[in-house]
Amino acid sequence: MIVVMKESATQADIESVMQVLRQKGLDPRLTQGVEKTIIGVLGPKEKVRELAVASMNGVEKLVPVSNPFKLASRDFHPDNTTITVGDHVIGGSEPTIIAGPCSVESLEGIIDIAHAVKKSGAQLLRGGAFKPRSSPYSFQGLGEEGLQYLASAREATGLGIVSEVMEPGLVELVAEYVDVLQIGARNMQNFALLKAVGRTNKAVLLKRGFANSMEEWLMSAEYVMSEGNPNVILCERGIRTFETYTRNTLDLNAIPVVQHLSHLPILVDPSHGVGNSRYVTPMARAGIASGAQGVIVEVHPNPAEAWSDGAQSLNLDQFAEMAKQVRQTHTLVQSFSNETSVL
């Protein structure tokens, strides 16, 4: 943390701040320039983040300098993490492709979709059983019945299963059925839920909250990891901006930045990111080109008939084409990585 003093700060102001810091057991270091005085504050991160000198006389502002995440940081874990689900290695040499309907609607339906997406190259099946809906009057998902259907689809196809869990009390139940526990964007800072999935040994797909900074996202990964579960997969799914033409603004900048800061694998979700199937394939390609290790997309045999999120679902032909383009783009990006020592 750095304390920046105002140009009008007096020597007494500076001394008061130094004293308060020392009383907190911290080690403040003064740097005085012609125009500006700054105080570097060293000490354990937790203490430093709780500093309350911002409103003292002569203080202009506090500037944090430490990344507050450790287990998720590449500083302490330079190599990429890979996470194995069934036969598939997330973060490995193949791009991860996760596909399926927004909501599980029927046993037959989900098995048919599973066969279809597997044929086109998906390694994991997604499907909502417990659904977060902004309206209490919208369809809330089939619940455990949906999980049973997903498990049957795994049995029929061998695909791993990804499904969302929304509350700590249901983690155990959902974990019985799925291979990857999804934390949705609205729950990215549901800390009780993060701790609960951190106490399982399942892989966790952690979506970025739609108004959360990359730092907060990595801190949420840290919550899961600090409970003992290192298997966190990050997923960018769009942030909120002033633009209304797209449902969200898929923030692909997050891919290279997070890969610089962290060793965890990262995917993109263009379906929620743009909210319109017309733009899903170009954004899936762009995500892979930016360096993402895979995609998660919504697929439905007949989007106009889907119970939820039909507007952003690909049909099966569109999905097959997207999967091909994703694989070819990934192969191209991989071919660059040996030659990019200058970058």
Give residues 271-290 in contact with its own copies (rule: CB under 8 A): 273-274, 276-279, 281-283, 285-290
For tokens 């965890």, the residue is 264
Give residues 65-94 in contact with its own copies (rule: CB under 8 A): 65-68, 73, 75-76, 78
Chain-centroid distance, C-alpha 180? 13
Strand, coil or helix: 21: helix
Interface region with its own copies, contact rule CB under 8 A, candidates 90-98, 121-129, 167-175, 229-237: 167-175
Interface region with its own copies, contact rule CB under 8 A, candidates 91-99, 149-157, 174-182, 249-257: 249-257
Interface region with its own copies, contact rule CB under 8 A, candidates 80-88, 106-114, 149-157, 251-259: 251-259
Q: 182, 192 in Cβ contact below 8 A?
A: no
As a whole number of Å, the CA-based R_g of the chain is: 23
Q: Residue 262: beta bridge partners?
A: 73
Nearest CA among 303, 269, 99 for reference residue 183: 269
Q: Please, which residue, 27 or 155, has the CB nearer to its own copies? A: 27
Told to check if 313 binds its own copies by CB under 8 A, we report yes
Give residues 253-272 in contact with its own copies (rule: CB under 8 A): 253-257, 260
Q: How far apart are CA 40 and CA 334, in angstroms?
A: 42
Q: 187, 229, 262, 293: which one contacts its own copies (CB under 8 A)?
A: 187
Give residues 118-137 in contact with its own copies (rule: CB under 8 A): 132-137
Q: 69, 221 in Cβ contact below 8 A?
A: yes
Query: Which two tokens mark 313?
Result: 């679902």
Told to check if 12 binds its own copies by CB under 8 A, we report no
Told to check if 43 binds its own copies by CB under 8 A, we report yes
Q: How far apart are CA 281 and CA 268, in angstroms?
A: 12
In the complex, what is the shortest distance from the CB of residue 156 to its own copies, in angstroms, rounded to a whole number?
Answer: 26
Give residues 218-247 in contact with its own copies (rule: CB under 8 A): 219-220, 222-223, 226, 239-246
In the complex, what is the shortest distance from the CB of residue 195 to its own copies, in angstroms, rounded to a whole number?
Answer: 8
Give me the torsion for CA of 87, 264, 295, 323, rounded to 10°. Answer: -50
In the complex, what is the shortest distance from the CB of residue 88 to its own copies, in angstroms, rounded to a whole number?
Answer: 23
What does the angle CA 160 – CA 162 – CA 164 come to, to the nearest 5 degrees?
160
